[in-house]
Amino acid sequence: MQMFDRPVNLREQVRRAYLNLGPYQIYLKEYPKDQKQRKFINAWFKMFPSWLEYSPTTNASYCFLCYLFNDKPNVRSGYDAFTVKGFNNWKKVNDGKNCAFLNHIDSSQHRNAVTYSENLLNQATHIGNVFEKQSQEQILKNRLRLKTSIDVVRWLTYQACALRGHDESTNSKNRGNFLEMLKILASYNDEVAKVVLENAPYNSKYTSSDIQKEILDIIANKVRCHIRSEVGDSYYCVMVDESRDESKKEQMAIVLRFVDAQGIVRERFLDLVHVRDTLSLTLKTCLWNQLLQHKFDVQKIRGQGYDGASNMRGKWNGLQALVREYCPCAYYVHCFAHRLQLALVSASTEIIPVHQFFSNLVFTINVVCASSKRHDELQKAKADEIQKLLDLGEIGSGSGLNQVRTLSRPGDTRWGSHFKSVCSLIEMFDVTRVVLQGIIEDLSHTTHSQRGDADTAYGYLQSFEFVFILHLMKELMGKTNDLSKALQKKSHDILNAMELVSSTKDNLNTFRNNGWDSFFAKVTFFCNKLQIDLPDMEAPYTSTRYRPRKKDLHVTFGHYYRVDLFNAILDKQLHELNSRFNEETIELLSLSSSLTSKEINVDEICLLVEKYYPQDFSDQEKIQLRYQLEIFNIEKSKNINLSGASTISDLCKSLVDTKKRETYYLVDRVIRLILTLPVSTATTERGFSAMKIFKNRLRNKMSDDYLANSLVIYIEKEIAENFDSESIIEEFKNLKGRRAEL
């Protein structure tokens, strides 16, 4: 839309918004050519940084300033070349004194536009300030008042607290967090008290909801600009996930993973975008809009991290396929933490006794923790047990020891909660039985159904099979719990993650082959201690669930528990881990694995570059890479700092610390490309966890921009803390015309 088509009273606000964003200067690897094979050159941006713009849609250049101050249609020929139609006669640019860009600078239209832009940004010349010139003392008061509001907004956002109150009138007993915090600051500082709240001018209190949102928007945009500067010209990975918020809106979280100038892997939360639906095309459009809005080069994308949903991973119409149409080297990696959870879920649901065990586990916990009275009885019974053990001297006392805990319910989406639930039941097994026995015997205060449920749950706890699977699940999930936590760290590179998976599989395989005797002895000791009947392992096992292959085959209890449960559950778990984390099917990871070995396989790394990253290395660089790798191999064995790097992340940082990055810049480029590949989408999940804190039942009408800005500041707090209030005030002043001078 041209400026003369906009309402007159909105033009100044639109111009300020555009001036804050600056000219649209997109750097493309290859610009479109015209019929005579001429094209736009990005070096022109450096020659004319303040006004030259380029549109990839129309393949034409425009004048940023002339467009902003073009208040009426031009009737003279050629005056609309840089504002409406666009200029694309590239032949006339490099034409010495007749250069079209130089001629445009000398035109009166452009000179007037430059003058208008300078006057607009100079608030001192604003007409409102000309008629009402304020003293320097009043300006300092205005800035102090605004600085106080900025500090309060920022602190409350760091703590994920609501800004507004239900009733903010002067007669209200609770005017909301923002105003109450201002009141506290004013009580400790007389200078602040003189300029805020009732002592502030009516037209510049800086306490309205609009002012609060403007402050949030400024800080959030400064955080996003900092992230953009951190990425720079580096390759980066996009990680996307979507979830519903409290108001049933579908929100898409966008996280960028990259390696910064110090060689450290960063994962930054960029934005939260409301999407109409979860179709792959919708997600791709929103993702592209956000990246281009913040001036990211989409052709620098070298990785994609999503979950395993079909709209994400689809090879033909999924989001990863749509992104790879523009970025062929943006390889998709299914979230490792999500893979692990799927493997655990599959192992639990496909083994019938395990599936029934978790159903019985949830049922038992629900019966015991169904009411506050039973919960209190459970904790009292545990406290009595601890006191008894202390008196007998079986346990020691100390700070933090022998805490009275409770049973934990397993969650559907967090497999780690199942491990916590299993451990809590083992720890409180005996007192749980005591509470259930009390419910069964309490005829006056319980119903028939309650006593029946308690009796059923008590029967589960007295079953040897339930106890056996309970301990087996603790061992199994305990061995994978560390892997699950490790995969959710931001600093992990994909090679290190594959090594962790391999170590976990070896640990499970060792436990499967050699751990039966020690495990069964532990279960037997537990049962004897709590007086749970043990079956005769040599006796024939009979069950309607077990069907032998031959009628004359006699299966003993020992065979059933060792082969049909212990071995079967571990075999299923190993099978799932092998199928979902198969290194042989991921050739890219296999080829890059030698980077962390004592001697780098030069042929494999060169093959990796040739096959997976041909666009990122020229033919000459591919030849030179081989020689750099050969020399780097020799120096790596001699340099302690380089040889001591155990992971590819450490190797990348060592190259920066030892200042070898410039020498082996091609090796460094390969390492950074590998590190860009994501391990998990845990950062996006953390974003959704923060979203539930901000947008809860009492704050379910937050606008999308307000929510997104709050999350960016809350999650990237370490960046937001670096911005001083003065810089925020300057941007606030330039955002639009203010009644009070700042």
Residues in the chain, how many? Answer: 742
3-state per-residue secondary structure call for 677-714: CCCCCHHHHHHHHHHHHHCCHHHCCCCHHHHHHHHHHH
Tell how strand 236-244 and strand 301-306 pair up.
parallel
Q: How many CA atoms lie within 13 A of 61 on its CB side?
A: 23
The answer to whether the CB of 174 falls within 8 A of the CB of 165 is: yes
Which CATH code for domain 215-335+679-735? Answer: 3.30.420.10
| Calpha distance 59→67 (Å, rounded) | 17
Picking from 483, 480, 497, the residue whose alpha carbon sits closest to that of residue 649 is 497
Angle among Cα 235, 241, 244 to the nearest 5 degrees reads 150
Handedness of CA 485, 488, 490, 494 (dihedral sign): positive
Alpha-helix runs per DSSP H in 530-617 = 557-559, 568-580, 587-592, 602-612
pLDDT at res. 129: 58
pLDDT at res. 497: 75
What 3-state DSSP class applies to 29? coil
CA-based radius of gyration for the chain: 33
**At 237, which helix (H) or strand (E)?**
strand 236-244
Residues of the chain below pLDDT 50: 400, 544, 546, 549-552, 584-585
Tell how strand 331-334 and strand 301-306 pair up.
parallel
| Calpha distance 102→567 (Å, rounded) | 80
pLDDT at res. 394: 56
pLDDT at res. 225: 94
The domain locations on the chain are: 3-129, 134-207, 215-335+679-735, 342-580, 586-676
**At 421, which helix (H) or strand (E)?**
helix 416-427
Tell how strand 60-63 and strand 52-55 pair up.
antiparallel
pLDDT at res. 255: 92
pLDDT at res. 684: 83
Q: Which amino acid is at 550?
A: K
Q: Which residue has the tokens 């302690």?
A: 640
pLDDT at res. 584: 41
- The alpha carbon of 729 is separated from its chain's Cα centroid by a whole number of angstroms, namely 29
Handedness of CA 195, 197, 203, 209 (dihedral sign): positive
Contacts 24+ apart (CB under 8 A), 84-87: 84/2, 85/60, 86/55, 86/58, 86/60, 86/61, 86/62, 87/60, 87/61, 87/62
What 3-state DSSP class applies to 354? helix
| Calpha distance 13→574 (Å, rounded) | 62
